[in-house]
């Protein structure tokens, strides 16, 4: 992950400036979430013991502490219920405004609401009741050193964007 604008880091990887999760199965117990994103699916976990559906995905059920969880699909479209635009104090490597929305995935969804970043959206344009959809995008690869060899692990992340 090259860091631009910081000369001494140009072309080098800095974990301090890496805001994206390490997604490979060796380092992340919810790696399936990212594998599913790569296939365009928005998923979370459901407890096989008590049926509790949680978002974000868990490795242990917050209700009964079982680790017998299964993956379920969530809708990829929703409706904005509230919007926050951060104009200052955004994390380094992000450009303000950083837009977050509380999104209603609908009555049929196993999990009713998600909080997500909204992209591809001009400032001050997103409003309550606007329809939004999932968008999956590549984020900078992450170097992993294995037996003195460095491989670049590809990564994706998600946000929502206005439905045109």
Q: Which is nearer to Zn ion, 44 or 116 (CB)?
A: 44
For residue 17, give every residue at least 6 positions away whose Cβ sits within 8 Å of its Cβ, in sequence order, or none.
Answer: 1, 3, 6, 9, 92, 93
Q: Which of 49, 86, 96, 128 binds Zn ion (CB under 5 A)?
A: 49
Asked if 61 touches Zn ion (CB under 5 A), the answer is yes
Asked if residue 99 lies in contact with residue 116, where contact means CB atoms within 8 angstroms, the answer is no
Binding range to Zn ion, per CB under 5 A, among 16-24, 58-66, 92-100, 145-153: 58-66
Secondary structure letter of residue 112 according to DSSP: -
Which C-beta is closer to Zn ion: that of 43 or that of 116? 43
CA distance 159 to 94: 14
Q: Is 64 near Zn ion (CB under 5 A)?
A: yes
Residue 47 contacts Zn ion per CB under 5 A: yes
Q: What's the count of helices (H) and strands (E) in the chain, helices before strands?
A: 1, 8
Interaction between residue 66 and Zn ion (CB under 5 A)? yes
Question: How far apart are the C-alpha atoms of 158 and 164, rounded to whole Å?
Answer: 18
Stretch that binds Zn ion, among 11-19, 28-36, 46-54, 135-143 (CB under 5 A): 46-54
Q: Is 31 in the site for Zn ion (CB under 5 A)?
A: no
């Amino acid at each position: 992950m090259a860091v631009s604008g910081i000369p001494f880091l140009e072309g080098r990887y800095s974990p301090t400036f890496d805001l994206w999760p390490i997604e490979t199965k060796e380092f992340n117990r919810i790696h399936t979430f990212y594998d599913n994103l790569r296939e365009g699916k928005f998923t979370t976990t459901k407890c096989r013991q008590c049926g509790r559906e949680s978002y974000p995905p868990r490795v242990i059920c917050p209700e009964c502490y079982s680790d017998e969880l299964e993956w379920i699909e969530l809708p990829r479209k929703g409706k904005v219920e509230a919007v926050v635009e951060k104009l200052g104090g955004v994390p380094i490597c992000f450009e303000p405004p950083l837009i977050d929305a509380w999104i209603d995935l609908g009555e049929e969804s196993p999990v009713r609401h998600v909080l997500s970043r909204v992209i591809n959206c001009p400032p001050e344009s997103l409003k309550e009741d606007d329809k939004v959809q999932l968008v999956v995008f590549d984020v900078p690869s992450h170097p992993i050193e294995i037996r003195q060899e460095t491989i670049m692990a590809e990564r994706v992340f998600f946000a929502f964007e206005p439905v045109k």
